[in-house]
Chains A and B, each alone.
Chain A
Amino acid sequence: EVQILETGGGLVKPGGSLRLSCATSGFNFNDYFMNWVRQAPGKGLEWVAQIRNKNYNYATYYAESLEGRVTISRDDSKSSVYLQVSSLRAEDTAIYYCTRTLYWGQGVMVTVSS
């Protein structure tokens, strides 16, 4: 059974940083590209970042609205992917989902507020 579990969310002050983690199991993690997608309260889905696998030299891609403030990384030995977000703003408040396109985690809430 495929499992995707995001952790690391919470309440952060504007200007702060956060590192989200996504632990996976049930599939060969090394074979897949992994993504982060976010959803602001009551809004639609917004793709945030992707990291490709080793065959593609772990290439990374980012949404322009976040570029420079986010870094996606992965640890194949732990079947995990991470998202570091800095200089957080109120508009970054959202549920952050880790996804393999087919499979999605339950999401983790990030709230940016003073």
Chain B
Amino acid sequence: DIVLTQAPLSVSVTPGESASISCRSSKSLLSSKGITSLYWYLQKPGKSPQLLIYRMSNLASGVPDRFSGSGSETDFTLKISKVETEDVGVYYCAQFLEYPYTFGAGTKLELK
């Protein structure tokens, strides 16, 4: 199975500052079609996960452009610039390249 390792597992950020979350894959997530199948989700307290970034760097519809995704074949970063109070929750990376689909352990973002 593909293992996704997120770091840090928790982060405390002052509103208005930036935050970065890392996700490292045990295997390349670059498909033969040239698509990197790494996704980022945010799960706000008591809510379902919501898609932020798809295919490593594409912003999902309705997601503020404060969020951005980048990376290579195995190392990925979610950056949140100018963190706002509504960004609090747990961030998960996920791979949909091969079965079984897998998720990272999650990174909890809190405000200082």
Decide if A35 is an interface residue (CB 8 Å cutoff). yes
- Majority-rule SS of A interface residues: strand
Q: Note all chain A residues with C-beta closer than 8 A to B100.
A: 47, 61-64
Are A50 and B48 closer than 8 Å at their CB atoms? no
- B15-44 CB contacts (< 8 Å) to partner A: 39, 41, 43
Residue-wise interface mask of A (60-93) relative to B, using a CB-CB cutoff of 8 A (1 in contact, 0 not): 0111100000000000000000000000000000
In the complex, how many residues of chain B place their beta carbon closer than 8 angstroms to a beta carbon of chain A? 22
Are B103 and A104 touching (Cβ within 8 A)?
no
With A102-B54, A104-B48, A106-B48 given, can you name 17 additional A-B contacts, CB distance below 8 Å?
Answer: A44-B90, A44-B106, A45-B43, A45-B92, A46-B103, A50-B99, A63-B100, A64-B100, A97-B48, A97-B49, A99-B49, A101-B39, A101-B96, A102-B51, A102-B60, A104-B50, A105-B48
Residues of A within 8 A of B (CB): 35, 44-47, 50, 61-64, 97, 99, 101-102, 104-107
